[in-house]
Amino acid sequence: MKPQRLLPLIVATALFIENMDSTAISTSLPQIAVDLGTEPIALKLALTTYMLALAVFIPVSGWVADRFGARRIFVAAIAVFLLGSLGCAASNGLGQLVAGRFVQGMGGAMMVPVGRLVLLRTIDKAELVRALSWLTIPAMLGPMLGPVLGGAITTYAHWRFIFLINLPMGALGMWLAWRHVPELRQVVGPLDSHGFLLSAGGLALAMFGLSAVGRGLVPAPVIGGCVIVGVLLLALYVRHARHHPHPLLRLDLFRIPTYRAGVLGGSLFRVGIGATPFLLPLMLQLGFGFNPLHSGLVTFTSTAGAMLMKTLAPRILHATGFRPVLVWNGLVAALAMCLFGLFRADTPYWLMVGVLLASGCLRSLQFTSINAIAYADIDQASMSQASSLTAMAQQVALALGVTLGGYALSLSTALSGRPDGDPLNFTFAFLGVGVISALSVLEMRRLAPDAGAEMAGHAQAGREVSEPKVEARPQA
């Protein structure tokens, strides 16, 4: 099999087990709470702990991969994730489960950025869009199968098997990675320990505060304090990075227009889209009276549309280039999300499914374009730091998306004076998060017409790209 197909599929094994595990455990929280003798809401701590581990270790993932080798770290990250899975399966109390989830998060924080780094350094930019599509298709099977598999295992077997089913897929990924993933290294300077403490601490506190909003786990003043202190630490990191010769995360990469559009513009789009998995099931179940299975079958069509588009995205980008897709498709995708708020209990099933299917296609095309354009003008020496910074921004955007979705729903409920499950409340909530997604177009419009031409496969790619680049800093 060609490397541009084999390597993405190997990396996708890690994404598959991570995504499937996270969605399966959410379905089984009530039964796990009964067995462990605690309240289901307390088990939300297991989900939050995983996000905290990601926040702490994602910033350092690029430096570790450069220092010790991408293949070695990728294989070790899968092993750590599987070790955490065994700990979760063997846990007999809340503390043990939380500890196991933290270990899983340590592995997950390294798997995704390092796996992406392998693709960025081994596959030609002209083939990168297609490779990212091959990466995403298997990875999307995780959240599709997770809820169904988690519910089936909990109903007919035992919830502990949710964590054990990771083992064979993870072991296969480790074996394939050791055989086929190249050992990529780069000479780097000493670890920016001060920057690591500031970025990890700031990101962990901010994400903890955002993820705890509205869950009843933590008092509101504590949540607000965590967010404020987290933002302050991140601001201190910005100041630190400007003066450090080898900062952990190079913020000067944002001077590159394509990277800035992919990360900052992409984060705005991701914030709005990230609220959809939270709002849509609530509307279908609370507003329309659907049962969980019926709701899942309806929302599944969006994922099916996303998978379909992954096979078409390279051809579309080749025909049009990145800028038209990022601008016009971004607007239409945001509009499609606003249309969700117009659904009602008597909306024809075929119409609801059709809108969700089309929305999944549009969203998938936008994400493929965003993920690729960010690396269009990044040189090889900066790839590891670009990958770490991108992964960090994605995690913050996802957490912020759920938080803003909840805020939008609460605000619309308060302003309308209607009951919590009233469909009109969801109309305003979807409109609010749709506007946030549409704001990403403001950054995409600043791209040059030929931005990412080499990745899109245009004939213009052969000439020198006119956009400014940031020279790689000496690493040693």
Asked if residue 257 and residue 241 are part of one domain, the reply reads no
Number of domains observed in the structure of the chain: 3
pTM: 0.81
- Written as tens digits, the pLDDT of the chain (476 aa) is 565 678 888 888 888 888 777 767 766 777 788 888 877 666 767 777 887 888 888 888 888 988 898 899 999 999 999 999 999 999 888 889 889 999 999 998 888 888 888 888 888 877 888 777 777 666 566 666 666 677 677 778 888 888 888 899 899 989 999 988 888 877 778 889 999 999 989 988 888 887 776 656 678 888 889 889 999 999 999 999 988 888 888 899 999 999 999 999 999 998 887 788 778 877 887 888 877 667 767 777 777 787 788 778 888 988 999 999 999 999 999 999 999 999 998 899 899 999 999 998 998 899 889 988 999 888 888 888 888 888 888 878 877 887 788 888 888 888 888 877 788 889 999 999 999 999 999 999 999 999 888 887 754 444 343 344 444 443 43
Asked if residue 240 and residue 160 are part of one domain, the reply reads no
Q: Among the residues of 157-192, which ranges form H helices?
A: 161-164, 166-180
Asked if residue 385 and residue 302 are part of one domain, the reply reads yes
Which element (helix H / strand E) includes 321? none
237 in any annotated domain: yes
The domain in which residue 216 lies consists of: 192-247
Token pair belonging to 108: 């997950």
Using alpha carbons, list the distances in angstroms from residue 457 to 1, 303, 389, 442, 462: 22, 27, 26, 25, 10
187 in any annotated domain: no
Measured in degrees and rounded to the nearest 5, phi and psi for residue 109 equal: -65, -30
CATH number assigned to the domain comprising residue 54? 1.20.1250.20
Give the closest residue to 196 by CA, choosing from 276, 138, 109.
109
Asked if residue 267 and residue 238 are part of one domain, the reply reads no
279 in any annotated domain: yes
Asked if residue 363 and residue 225 are part of one domain, the reply reads no
Asked if residue 272 and residue 236 are part of one domain, the reply reads no
Domain boundary among 134, 157, 180: 180
Asked if residue 123 and residue 82 are part of one domain, the reply reads yes
Asked if residue 233 and residue 168 are part of one domain, the reply reads no
Hunting for tokens 């796990």 — which residue is that? 32
186 in any annotated domain: no
Domain boundary among 180, 204, 223: 180
Domain boundary among 220, 247, 274: 247
| Total residues found in the chain within this entry | 476
**Alpha carbons 372 and 455: distance in angstroms, whole number:** 8
**Alpha carbons 189 and 429: distance in angstroms, whole number:** 47
315 in any annotated domain: yes
Please check whether residue 125 is in contact with residue 137, taking contact to mean a CB–CB distance below 8 angstroms.
Answer: no
Asked if residue 211 and residue 80 are part of one domain, the reply reads no
194 Cβ contact list (under 8 Å, min separation 6): 240, 244
Asked if residue 327 and residue 471 are part of one domain, the reply reads yes
91 in any annotated domain: yes
Asked if residue 393 and residue 282 are part of one domain, the reply reads yes
Which element (helix H / strand E) includes 438? helix 423-438
449 in any annotated domain: yes
185 in any annotated domain: no
Asked if residue 454 and residue 341 are part of one domain, the reply reads yes
